[in-house]
Amino acid sequence: MNKKQLTQSMAHKMDIPQAQAKQQLEQILAIIHQGLAEGEKIYIPQFGTFELRFHLPKVGRNPQTGEAIDIEGFNQPSFKVSPVLKALIND
């Protein structure tokens, strides 16, 4: 399912125009983006948790020359599925 299909499904289930469903979905995604950018953990009960995981700096190698390259640490967005959703999917 892509974003357009999700918007259509939301509009159908909530009996609202697609434009309104699209606006609501955009607002939800913007809030999630903003929360992650501010380093917040976003917990949605019975769905899962969005959070940032920090990857430590490390030394890598250029495969062509073998030269050592410093790779900076970085935050990686991640999503952990709730046990309720996991059970629902695996039934």
Asked if 47 and 71 sit in the same domain, the reply is: yes
Q: Are 36 and 48 within one domain?
A: no
pLDDT confidence of residue 8: 95
Cα–Cα distance between 45 and 48 in angstroms, integer? 6
Helix boundaries (H) for the chain: 3-14, 18-37, 83-90
- Are residues 46 and 32 located together in one domain of the fold? no
What's the total number of domains in the chain?
2
- Which secondary-structure segment (H or E) carries 68? strand 68-71
91 pLDDT above the threshold of 90 = no
Residues 18-64: tens digit of each pLDDT: 999 999 999 999 999 999 999 999 999 999 999 999 999 999 999 99
Q: What pTM does this model have?
A: 0.76
- Phi/psi for 81 (5° steps) reads -75, 140
What pLDDT does 71 receive?
94
57 plus 32 within the same structural domain: no
Domain housing 81: 41-91
Residue 15 DSSP one-character state: T
Do 66 and 30 lie in a common domain? no
Distance CA 58, CA 68 (A): 10
Same domain as 51, residue 69: yes
pLDDT value, residue 4: 95
Q: 51 and 28, same structural domain?
A: no
